[in-house]
Amino acid sequence: MAARARFIALYEENYDAVHAFCARRVGFGEAPDATAEVFAVLWRRIDEAPTDADVAWLFGIARNTVLNRWRSRRRESRLLERVGGIREPAPAGPDTVVVRNEERRAVGEALSSLRPADKEILMLSAWDELSGKQIAQVLGISVSAADQRLHRARKRLAKALPTEAEEGGA
C-alpha cells in the first residue's frame, strides 16, 4: 500500500510539470500520451524510485520517453518516404491476364500430377515462403534432407510442366 500512496503523491505533485515538459518537446497533441507513458514507467518502477524522487527524476524518465517518440517519428517518416516512392504497377492488359491465367492453370495441373510429398514441400517453399531450415523443422527431417527433397520436387515439377512445343508455341 505504501507504494501506491507514494505513486499517488508523486503523480499529484508532478503531473503538471511533467506534462509541460513533454508538451514543450512533443507538442500539446502528444503531451498527454507522453505524460501517461512517464507515469506508467513510474508505476512499474515505483519500488526502484529513489526515496528522494522528485520532478527532476521524473524529467529523466520523460526525456527518455520523448527521445523514444522522436526516434519512432523518424523511423515512421523514413518508412513513409520509402513507401511513397513505390508506385503501383500499371494494370495488366488482357493479353497479359490471359497468359498469367494459362500459366497458373499449367502449374496447377503439373502440381496435381505430383506425389503428395512433392506438393507439400513445394508449397512450403513457394507459398509459405519457408527456408530449407524451416521446412526441415516442419517435416521433422534434417536440413540436408529437406534441401534434397525440395531440389528433387522442383525437378519433377519442371518435367511435369508443358514445354512451348507442347503448348503449340515456337
- Reported as type and span, the H/E element at residue 42 is helix 31-44
Where is pLDDT greater, at 104 or 84? 104
Share of the chain above pLDDT 70, in %: 94
**Annotation: CATH topology of 2-84:** Rna Polymerase Sigma Factor; Chain: A (1.10.1740)
97-118 pLDDT, tens digit each: 788 888 888 888 888 898 988 9
pLDDT exceeds 80 at position 85: no
Tell me the pTM. Answer: 0.48
The predicted pLDDT at position 100 comes to 80
- For the segment 78-87, the average pLDDT, to the nearest whole number, is 74
Highest CATH level, class, for 109-165: mainly alpha
The mean pLDDT value of the chain amounts to 86
The predicted pLDDT at position 152 comes to 95
Q: Give domain limits for the chain.
A: 2-84, 109-165
27-64 pLDDT, tens digit each: 999 999 999 999 999 999 998 888 887 888 899 999 99
Q: Is 10 left (phi over 0), alpha (psi -120 to 50) or beta?
A: alpha
CA distance 114 to 112: 5
The predicted pLDDT at position 161 comes to 84
The predicted pLDDT at position 170 comes to 47
The predicted pLDDT at position 1 comes to 67
The predicted pLDDT at position 168 comes to 56
pLDDT exceeds 80 at position 124: yes
CA distance 124 to 126: 6
Q: Is 129 left (phi over 0), alpha (psi -120 to 50) or beta?
A: left
